[in-house]
Structure 1
Amino acid sequence: MTLRTRFAPSPTGYVHLGNIRTALFAWAFARHHGGEFLLRIEDTDQERSTQAAVDVVLEVMDWLGLNYDNPGDKLVYQMRRMPRYKDVLAQMLADGRAYHCYMQPDELDALREAQMARGEKPRYDGRWRPETGKLLPEPPTGVKPVIRFRNPTTGTVSWQDGVKGQVEIANSELDDLIIARPDGTPTYNFCVVVDDIDMAITHVIRGDDHVNNTPRQINIMLALGATPPIYAHTPTVLGPDGQKLSKRHGARSVLEYREEGYLPEAMINMLARLGWSHGDDEVFTREQLVEWFDVPAISASASRFDPEKFAWINAEHIKRADIGRLSADVQSRLLRDGVIAAPLCAQDWARLMDAVVLYRSRVQTLVQLAQEVSLFWRHPQVSDALREQHLVPALGPALRDFCNRLAQCNWQAGDIAAEMKAVLTAHGLKMPQLAIPVRVAITGQTQTPSVDAVLWLMGRDPVLARLEAELQRMGA
């Protein structure tokens, strides 16, 4: 039997970190064992499900490289499987594995209130459940019934959870679950079981908020004559404040991180470390994850998302990424921000790649990288405070000397560095006394990579123009 896992999102909103971590674990497990990873769209909530939300799911999966083995035109959409669900419901009604229940919501509410008043667990009391020798009430006129699953009343339901270990629940703790609403539409727990059977899912890796659903799904699956998959319930992802990750506590769409300049491989790296580890390895590739990943290494404890740790991981992946790929992303951001008006020519593209090499070890996101590199295509604003602190009249002679030398020297980083040292010697200055003012005049910043490399990449004419403008302001 082929090992099969699945990711089954509900397209009712954005895809957040907890959602996609489930997909990542299921994908990595299937790839590690040479199995198949399938995608299923659970869109039965028609009031909230949208095609736009489906498109976001597909976009996130594509961005992260979580390739699935059912092609796009063969994705499983639950709403398209209604005839199949209704056939199974009819079979279960026919052979007594399910039954019609005419209990109204107000009756159920009253029952639960009475049970809680007596200190009992609120639950359906089985009044419409057929039993040998039991006389059922007459169905009320004009009332459409729900369909309930005839859950076993004795024994236990148990499973060996891949994360939590042995889990066992007495069937007496479970009431007869509604598996179809009055309008005939099947409920979540029923659809999931039929889908997992039909898709031949062997392993279900999902969040531990589904643990309470598992015994019910196992019983329905057994009633349908199928072998339940192996379940593994992953721990909750907590926000930085230790609360469950939610909109209130910092949950955001995965695609927001893409816009903020996070690499997909960094996202995968970070998500994998939320509840899974491989020794002391903190930074690893997608390929290494597939090689190392297995369910037994998943922690049973909740994991906390740390934005600062994520930024650090992203910085490490930026240092390792292909220069051409980084440059293409930076160019697209420069175009979008209006820093450049058109794709760069070959000469400027080469300069962009050199700038990316120069700055990529100093940033944590691609947004920061684009901001830093943009100074080579826009005139920076120098603040009055920086001018007053660094571009002082006493420095005028040294800056003028440096400007004159730059106008004549061979335009290479090494030659620029040599001219700077000559100015330092001639005027009795130390490196910071000249390098910082030059940085301020050229970039509007006090800190940059090696100043000779920055000037070389900037180009002789822009450098001379910027220095001359500041010298004029200084009256030098």
Structure 2
Amino acid sequence: MTKNVRVRFAPSPTGPLHIGGVRTALFNYLFAKKHNGSFILRIEDTDQNRYVEGAEQYIINALNWCGIPADESPVNPGKYGPYRQSERKETYKKYAEELIASGNAYYAFDTAEELDFHRKDHEAKGKTFIYNWHNRLKLSNALSLSEETVKAKLEAGEDYVIRFKSPQDETLLLKDIIRGDIKIDTNILDDKVLFKSDGMPTYHLANIVDDHLMEISHVIRGEEWLPSLALHHQLYTAFGWKIPEFAHLPLILKPTGKGKLSKRDGDKLGFPVFPLEWTDPNTGDVSRGYKEDGYFPEAMVNFLAFLGWNPGTEQEIFSLEELITAFNLERVNKSGARFDPDKTKWFNHHYMQEQDNLSLAKGFKTVQPELSDIDVNYIEMVVALVKERATFISDLWGLSHFFFSAPTTYDEKAAKKAFKEGTKDILKEVVSIINTIEDFTVENLQTSIKGWITDNEIGFGKVMMPLRLALVGALQGPDVFDIMFMIGKNETLNRVNKVIAVS
């Protein structure tokens, strides 16, 4: 690829960033880095009525947490700024007027009431109202009115929009990197509004102008924008500009595989659909985030990469650097990608094992009040013993609480299984053996207790099950001798003697 690769992620600041948006940003980032290009964040905030306070910063924070920061953005501007559309609004009118001058667009004065009448009239006849070549000469616009009338309306300050003049009886031959060749009959296209009398462009005009001025080489965006591809191609042609390459990513589907993934699906099935926690500034409602739910950013990036793309190999675990090397748009699927909450946990479990034990210990100590006075180095040793069974840091307490405090109750089912006739006497013998061990190490404990079991031809379960129950309160946890070593000789004796006394 010889051209200078510049891609952009252009969300609207209307609320928290959905993971579908994060996936789009990720694929743009991977493509840019693969080709030594630039990844741009542009905030498309022309619709000020839908603007939500804090949403822009949320988007930036989310990309940073995922490890895919923009090379150019509102907070890290380059030479192609401004990076908010609301700050570029003076630019767009000039280009709308250019299209009018070249005959590719026209003023339209139809009121909302008039358009509504036409829609309802068409519906009553079982038709769909489309504003285009077949009826525009019957409507109120610069194509049907005299030059003098149009001039008078504009001078009188009448409300207007500027519409694109869609061609008649043409076939557009479009290309999409993911979807291949696409044919469009221009007779079915409507004359989209490009500019409004309030001085603001619609998405279509602003998007094309900004992509051109920012020298965007590839437009990688969601499938929902596929219906706009024909208009966007025509706008580039009308301006005489070089057309970027387009790639439309597949939808992320519900876990059932039917329909687009939504927040409601997450609420219903118990998983987040946003990268970070979000508090709605208007209602105060809090939506869960992957970060706060205990997911690692590496896990999120890894599972998002596989929503619609595959490397063509059996490999599933990829670092960000490996994804950059392996990624190409030709291996992105056309069909929707089903979201699997269990698979996201599988990825997180893997990255949990990859984490440094001390970092996990510090995180564990932060979220668990009972650990506030415990030495982090001791917590680190505990984490090393139990993290294999953990998917999230929040799992660690349930797997390790007995390292920090003695059991106060004993699992009833486990007690019935572990305590038989003669168990008390066996545990008393174990207490005697523990008392004789001066150097209280895992090796010495194993040698002494296992040796005694073997010499006396006692079944291992008869000893190890009640011993585990005494130490843990249940038949769970890592190796019994590791637990004994960690809690120390005195605490081990206290716990065994306590279970002898209460059994």
TM-score by length of 1: 0.89
Task: Give 1:193's aligned residue.
Answer: 208
Count of residues paired in the alignment: 467
CA contact (8 A) 1:238 1:302 kept: yes
**CA 1:436–1:222 in structure 2 vs 1: closer, same or farther (change >3 Å)?**
farther
Q: Which residue is equivalent to 1:315? A: 349
Q: What is the aligned counterpart of 1:363 among 390, 401, 409?
A: 390
Shift of the 48–431 alpha-carbon distance from structure 1 to 2, 3 Å rule, reads: farther
Whether the 8 Å contact between 1:239 and 1:249 is mirrored in structure 2 is: yes
Q: Select 2:142's aligned residue among 110, 117, 130.
A: 130
Query: Are residues 12 and 463 of structure 1, via their aligned partners in 2, closer, same or farther at CA, if it must alter by over 3 Å?
Result: farther
Q: Which residue of 2 aligns with 1:204?
A: 219
Tell me which moved more, 11-20 or 109-118. 109-118
**Alpha-carbon contact 1:334-1:374 (below 8 Å) kept:** no
Of 456-465 and 165-174, more deviation after overlay is shown by 456-465
- Residues of 2 paired with 1:441 and 1:84: CA distance? 75
Does the CA-based 8 Å contact 2:60-2:69 persist in structure 1? no
Distance, in Å, in 1 between the alignment partners of 2:46 and 2:497 is 68
Partners of 2:309 and 2:458 in 1: CA distance: 54
Aligned CA-pair RMSD? 2.6
Deviations 1:383-424 (A, max 9, x none): 452445435674222223223333442221111222331453
CA contact (8 A) 2:365 2:376 kept: no
* Residue number in structure 2 paired with 1:339: 370
- Residues 340-389 of structure 1: per-residue CA shift (max 9 Å, x gap): 225x6xxx333333322222222222322354244423444534524454
Q: Is the 8 A contact 2:400 2:477 kept in 1?
A: no
Corresponding position of 2:265:
249
How far, CA to CA, are the matches of 1:241 and 1:404 in structure 2?
59
Letter in structure 2 aligned against 1:70: E
Structure 1 residues 40 and 384, CA, compared in 2 at 3 Å: closer, same or farther? same
Q: Paired residue for 1:73?
A: 76
d(CA) in 2 for partners of 1:69, 1:323: 29
- The 1:388–1:48 alpha-carbon spacing in structure 2 relative to 1, beyond 3 Å, is farther
> Hey, what does 2:428 align to over in structure 1?
400
Give 2:418's aligned amino acid: H
Partner of 1:302: 336
Question: After the TM superposition, which of the residue ranges 154-163 and 117-126 deviates more from structure 2?
Answer: 117-126
Structure 2 equivalent of residue 352 of structure 1: 379
In the other structure, the counterpart of 1:14 is 16
Residues 1:291 and 1:400: Cα distance change in structure 2 (over 3 Å): same
Match of residue 377 from structure 1:
404
Quickly say closer, same or farther: Cα 1:381–1:40, change in 2 above 3 A: farther
**Mapped contact 2:361–2:376 kept (Cα < 8 A):** no
Counterpart contact for 1:398–1:427, Cα < 8 Å: no
Deviation at 1:144, TM superposition (A): 1.6
Structure 1 distance, partners of 2:233, 2:118, is: 27
Mapped contact 1:318–1:360 kept (Cα < 8 A): yes
Whether the 8 Å contact between 1:363 and 1:369 is mirrored in structure 2 is yes
Q: Shift of residue 58 of structure 1?
A: 1.7
Tell me if the contact between 1:158 and 1:215 (Cα under 8 Å) persists in the aligned partners: no
2:107 counterpart residue number: 100
**CA-to-partner distance for each residue in 1:147-185, whole Å, 9 max, x for gaps?**
222333342333211111111212222121112234222
Look up the equivalent residue of 1:252 and give its one-letter code: V
Give the 3 Å change call, closer, same or farther, for CA 380–209 of structure 1 in structure 2. farther
Asked if structure 2 preserves the Cα contact closer than 8 Å seen for 1:265 and 1:286, the reply is: yes
Q: Which runs of 5+ in 2 are unaligned?
A: 267-271, 277-288
Query: What SS class does the counterpart of residue 262 from structure 1 fall into?
Result: coil
Cα contact 1:323–1:353 (8 A) shared by 2: no
Counterpart-to-counterpart distance in 2, 1:393 and 1:83: 89
CA contact (8 A) 1:334 1:370 kept: no
Q: CA deviation at 1:90?
A: 4.2
1:35 corresponds in structure 2 to 37
How do residues 144-155 of structure 1 correspond to structure 2 at under 5 angstroms?
144-155=159-170
Residues in 2 aligned to 1:119 and 1:389: alpha-carbon distance in whole angstroms: 74
Q: Write out per-residue CA displacement over residues 199-258 of structure 1, whole angstroms, 9 at most, x where no aligned residue.
A: 111111111111011111222222222212111111111121223201222262123222
Q: 1:394 to 1:20 in 2, by over 3 A?
A: same
CA–CA separation in structure 1 for the residues paired with 2:431 and 2:46: 70
| Structure 1 partner of 2:116 | 109
Contact 1:436–1:447, Cα closer than 8 Å, also in 2 = no
Q: Which moved more, 1:92-101 or 1:406-415?
A: 92-101
Is residue 352–residue 373 contact of structure 1 (8 Å, CA) maintained in 2? no
CA offsets 1:324-352 (integer angstroms, 9 cap, x no match): 4xx3244223323312225x6xxx33333
TM-fit CA distance, 1:455: 2.3
The answer as to whether partners of 1:206 and 1:234 remain within 8 angstroms in 2 is yes
The residue number in structure 2 matching 1:466 is: 495
Secondary structure of the corresponding residue to residue 70 of structure 2: coil
Q: Is the 8 A contact 1:339 1:378 kept in 2?
A: no
1:438 aligns with 2:454: no
Aligned residue in 1 for 2:283:
none
Q: Tell me how far 1:121 sits from its aligned partner.
A: 3.5
After superposing the two structures, state which structure 1 stretch, 201-210 or 112-121, moved more.
112-121
| Partner Cα distance (2:334, 2:320) in 1 | 23
1:302–1:462: structure 2 CA closer, same or farther, 3 Å change rule?
same
Q: CA deviation at 1:109?
A: 1.7
Q: Report the TM-score, using the length of structure 2 for normalisation.
A: 0.85
**Pair 462,122 (structure 1): closer, same or farther in 2 beyond 3 Å:** farther
